[in-house]
Structure 1
Amino acid sequence: MCRFTLLLEQMYKLDSPYTWLTFQVLCRYRNVWNMELKLRPAFLGGVMQASGNKPPAMVPNKALYMTKDLEHLASFVNIPLHSPADPFDVMFAKGSLAAMRFITAVAEKDKGSDHMVEKVSRELWNRIWSRDQDICEPESFSEAGLKAGLSSSDIEELLKLAKSQAVKDKLKQVTQEAIDHKAFGFPLIVCHVDGKSLVFFGSDRFELMAHCIGEKWLGPQPEKMDSHL
């Protein structure tokens, strides 16, 4: 059985919507491919600094291209993606370290299962990339958590846990694991097969990945493809 580790960041730099696309597709393949999907929040800033990389948006032509590219990909993958009114303020001025720590807290409390990590992550992505809403304040985490199915008491506990040294250290640990895999950005997928680690970067490597692990690529919406087989 192959085991996928999706190093999932929520810094919401310009490549974060690509991570959302990858996240959504991999979640759809949970029961299609013979795999275990592990969602692992990591800190993009640490990876960029360690690798010497720079955000693609720093190159004007790349930023222009990616705006249209994301529109096409969102339609292709069938995700309601809409850029925030001020993407630079969201991605660079505000950042999302607090959101990263909150998701890490969810992951720590939800050990052994990524069910709630998936749901809360999706709600936070929807907030910022579908509805242009905040993901920095505790009230935002509470709203996302409630929509994901958490109770008020669970959220209160998670908000406290997110500020703990244990969660901060966990986020650093997973980020270091990404760096150890020679990461230079996200989305990053690490597939462990036969004692070896295969590393894939980007939201357009699914077909190649399927080939490498001996699975079939059925497109970004495998349930639709299955209905025609």
Structure 2
Amino acid sequence: MKHITFYLDFVSPYAWLAFEKLPQVLEGLSYSVEYRPILLGALLQAQGNPGPAGIPSKRDWTYRHVTWLGHSLGIPVQMPARHPFPPLPLLRLALACSMDGSINRFTAGTLLRHVWQGGHDALDPARLEALSPALVEQHQPGGDDPKNLLWANTEAAADRGVFGVPAFEVDGKIFWGLDSLPMLRAYLEGDTWFDSHWQQVAQVPNGLPSAPAK
């Protein structure tokens, strides 16, 4: 049985779509999943990547695309009242339910639905307070500080080669994005393409000029 690490940030609509789609795409296969919340903004900042929200036309396209994808896939997606938003309160709330930086599917789903269903403000204080009863049985008293777990998760993800969310790690291989799910399934099924092409294509020389030395 293969083990999948699912890196996610609740601010990402593609993470929500991938969360809902994963069981269907991998139906019939033997696998386990651990969900690891990471701070997408910190990951992007370290890479000098402004993200979709940093480019107005790309931001507009992203919102159109994800709502259309939800429509086409039959997955409810309503943009929250404000986006992007600082996801730290949600990430720390999730990791209050963790001893080791991983969370279960119930916790992940509860927080993703909080953001991506209903079109509400994800950081509304009353709504955040209402989340607590839903997660109280998942809370891990005596676990490591959620802030420390979040930074450890984010740093570990970066070290593993994660550059965005959703990302799925299996056997040291990183699969990125909702549209990587069929590729992930092919790998789990033992597609021989991965025996040579996975590493071969990564060795293509970069044709862009090197950045000048400072």
CA distance in 2 between counterparts of 1:56 and 1:46 reads 14
Larger Rg: 2
| Residue of 130, 133, 142 corresponding to 1:143 | 130
Deviations 1:68-125 (A, max 9, x none): 21122102332210112332xxx24xx12011011011122897xx5xx322332222
Equivalent runs, 1:127-138 vs 2, <5 Å: 127-136=114-123
Q: What amino acid is the match of 2:153?
A: V
What residue in structure 2 maps to residue 69 of structure 1?
65
CA distance in 2 between counterparts of 1:170 and 1:97 reads 12
What residue in structure 2 maps to residue 180 of structure 1?
159
CA distance in 1 between counterparts of 2:153 and 2:100 reads 16
TM-score scaled to structure 2, two decimals?
Answer: 0.76
Segments of structure 2 that go 5 or more residues without pairing to the other structure are: 192-214
Q: What amino acid is the match of 1:209?
A: L
CA distance in 2 between counterparts of 1:84 and 1:190 reads 28
Residue aligned with 2:149, SS: helix
> Is this contact kept in 2: 1:83–1:129, CA < 8 A?
yes
Equivalent runs, 1:144-183 vs 2, <5 Å: 144-146=131-133, 148=134, 150-151=135-136, 154=137, 166-183=145-162
Equivalent runs, 1:190-229 vs 2, <5 Å: 190-192=169-171, 197-214=172-189
What residue in structure 2 maps to residue 56 of structure 1?
52
What residue in structure 2 maps to residue 6 of structure 1?
6
Q: What amino acid is the match of 1:104?
A: L
Q: What amino acid is the match of 2:21?
A: V
CA distance in 1 between counterparts of 2:107 and 2:121 reads 14
User: How many equivalent residue pairs?
Assistant: 191
TM-score scaled to structure 1, two decimals?
Answer: 0.71
> Is this contact kept in 2: 1:102–1:141, CA < 8 A?
no
CA distance in 2 between counterparts of 1:120 and 1:38 reads 11
Percent identity between matched residues is: 25
> Is this contact kept in 2: 1:120–1:145, CA < 8 A?
no
Segments of structure 1 that go 5 or more residues without pairing to the other structure are: 217-229
> Is this contact kept in 2: 1:82–1:131, CA < 8 A?
yes
Q: What amino acid is the match of 1:169?
A: N
CA-based RMSD: 2.9
